[in-house]
Amino acid sequence: MTLLAVCLAVFMLLLDMTIVSAALANIQASLNAELSGLQWVVDAYALPMAGLLLTAATLGDRLGRRLLYLGGMAVFTLASAGCALARSIEALNACRALQGTGGAVLLGVSLPMVAAAFPEQRRRGIAIAIYGAVMGAGAAVGPLLGGALVGAFGWESIFLINVPIGVVALAIAVRFVPETRAAQDRPLDLVGTAWLSAALFAGVYALIEGNRRGWTSGVILALSAFAVLGLSMFGWWESRVDAPMLDLRVVRRPGFAGVSLAAFAAAGTLIASTNYLALYFMNTLGYSPFQSGLRALPLTIACVLGAPLAMTAARYFRAWMSIPGGVALIAVGLWLMIGVDESTQWTHFIAGSVVAGLGLGGLFALTSDIALQFVPVADAGMATGAVSTVRQVGILAGVAGLGALFGRRASDSATHGLAQLRAVGPGPAHQLVDRLSAGAGLRVLDFLPADYRPAVPAIARVARQASAAGMQGALVAAAAAATAAAAGAVILIALGARRHDEREIPFAEGMPV
C-alpha cells in the first residue's frame, strides 16, 4: 500500500506539471492574464519544488516520512481547491506556490518511502521501476486529460480533480503506511535552502518580467545580479558546511553531472515547450482545449511507450549511450518541429512529437537509475533528490527563457506587421502588440473596436504571423539547447564511466532505507 500511496502522489505531481498547458488559454481569457502571469502559473509551482525538495527529504528522515507525506498531501490538496476558487491571476499563482510547497515535501519523501517498504533488492528495483513509469504517465496524460476537463467543466476542474485523489491518498497513508525514519539524522541546511530559493526566484522573475520592464531596467539588472550572487553563495556555503543539502563532491562527478544535465535539458526544452504549443494550438489554430489535447496524443503515446522501450534498450547499451540518446531524440524531435509560419497546421508537429516523446519517456524511466551508478551508496538519497531538483530548475528556466523569446519574437513581428498596415492607430496597435506577445493569437480580434472591422482579415494575418514567429523562436532555442545538452551529456557520462573511482551499482541496491 505504500507504493500505491506514493504512486498516487507522484502521478498528481507530474500531472499538475503538464495539465495546466491545456488550461492556459482559458485562464488567460478568464482572468485577463498577460504572458508573464501565465508563465508564473507554471513556475510558481516548480519554484518551491526546486528550492525545498532536498530540505523536505532531510526533514522526512528526521521527523518521519509518513508524517511529512500526510502534511505535504494535505497542503497540496487544500492548495488545489484554492486554485480552483481563485478569481485573479495573483491568487491563482499564490495557490500554485502552495501546491508546489506540498509537492516538494511529497517528492522529497516518496523514493525513501518506497525504499523502506521494499528492503529486498529485486522487489525494490521493480517498485522503483513502477514509480518511474507512473511519473512518466502523469506527465504524458496531462495535456489530454486537461483538455477533456477544461472543455467539459472549465479550467477550474484541472485543480479540483486533485481533491478526491488527495483525500484517497491521505486515507490510504493513515490506514496502511507505516512510519519510517533514516538510521542517522542529518541536520537541516536552512542557510543553503534560503540562498538557493532566493537565487532561483530572482533569476526566474528577471526572465519572466524582462520583456515587460525592459532588459536594461534597474530592477531586472539588480535581480539578475542577485541571482548570480545567490547561486555563488549557495555553492560557497555548500562547500563549507558540515552537512550540506547538496554535496558538491557528488555534483562534480562527471557521470552524475551528465545525467543531471540531461534531466535539466529534457525539462527545460520539451516540457517547457508544450505550454507554448498548447497556447498556439488554441489561440492561433483555433482548437478547443479538448481538441488541443487530442493533438498532443502523439507526444503522450510516444512518452508512455518510451519508458518500457528504454528499459529494454538499457540492457544492451551502456549508460553513456542511453541517457544522451534520450536527449538526442528530444533534440531531433524539436528540430523536426521548426519551420513554423502563418500557414502551419497541427500535423506539422506530429513527427517531432513522436520522436521527442520517445526520448522523454526513456529519460523518465532511466534517469534516477543511471544517476546512482555514478555515486557512492551512502549518497544515493541525495543524488536522487538532486536529480529531481535539477529537473524542476530546468522547468523554471525553460518556461521563463522560452517565454521571453516567444514574447520578443511575437512582439517584433506584430510591430512590423501593423506598421505596414497603416490601418490601425497607435493606441490600438500598442494593445494588439501586447496581447500578441502574450500568446493571444487570433483572440486579439475579439478586442478590436467596431471601426476596425474592415481591417480584420489583414490584422488576422498579422496575428498568425506574430504567433508563428514566437513559436518558431521558442522551438529553435529549445532544439539548440537540447542538442548542446546531448553533446555535453555524452562527454560527461562517458568520462564518468571510465573513472575507476566511480563504481557502477545496481539501482535497487543504491536506495537508502
Look up residue 411 and give its three cell numbers.
512582439
Look up residue 57 and give its three cell numbers.
527529504
Q: Could you identify the residue written with the cell 518556461?
A: 399
Q: Would residue 196 count as lying in a domain?
A: no
Run means of pLDDT, 10 residues per run, the chain, 513 residues: 92 89 89 87 89 85 90 96 95 96 92 84 78 82 89 93 94 92 76 89 86 84 93 90 81 88 94 92 92 90 87 73 91 97 94 95 81 72 81 89 92 89 74 85 81 83 94 97 95 77 44 44
Look up residue 430 and give its three cell numbers.
500598442
Q: Would residue 456 count as lying in a domain?
A: no
Q: Would residue 74 count as lying in a domain?
A: yes
Q: Would residue 234 count as lying in a domain?
A: no
- DSSP letters for 293-356: HHHTHHHHHHHHHHHHHHHHHTTTS-HHHHHHHHHHHHHHHHHHH----TT--GGGGHHHHHHH
Look up residue 467 and give its three cell numbers.
504567433
Q: Is 67 exposed, middle or buried (0-12, 13-18, 19+ CB in 10 A)?
A: middle
Q: Which domain holds residue 249?
A: 2-189+243-410+467-510
Look up residue 271 and give its three cell numbers.
516540457
Which of 408, 295, 313, 403 has the alpha carbon at shortest distance from 358?
313
Q: At 147, which CATH number?
A: 1.20.1250.20
Q: Is 444 exposed, middle or buried (0-12, 13-18, 19+ CB in 10 A)?
A: buried
Q: Would residue 223 count as lying in a domain?
A: no
> pTM of the predicted model, to two decimals?
0.86
Q: Is 203 exposed, middle or buried (0-12, 13-18, 19+ CB in 10 A)?
A: buried
Which of 256, 177, 186, 159 has the alpha carbon at shortest distance from 503?
256
Rounded CA-CA distance 471/416 in Å is 17
Element (H, E) at 274: helix 272-279
| CA distances in angstroms from 212 to 12, 207, 209, listed in the order given | 33, 10, 5
How much is the pLDDT for 183?
A: 67
Q: Could you identify the residue written with the cell 488554441?
A: 282
Element (H, E) at 154: none
Q: Would residue 23 count as lying in a domain?
A: yes
How much is the pLDDT for 319?
A: 58
How much is the pLDDT for 433?
A: 87
Number of domains forming the structure of the chain: 1
Q: Residue 152: count other Cβ atoms within 10 Å of its Cβ.
A: 10
Q: Would residue 442 count as lying in a domain?
A: no
Q: Would residue 226 count as lying in a domain?
A: no
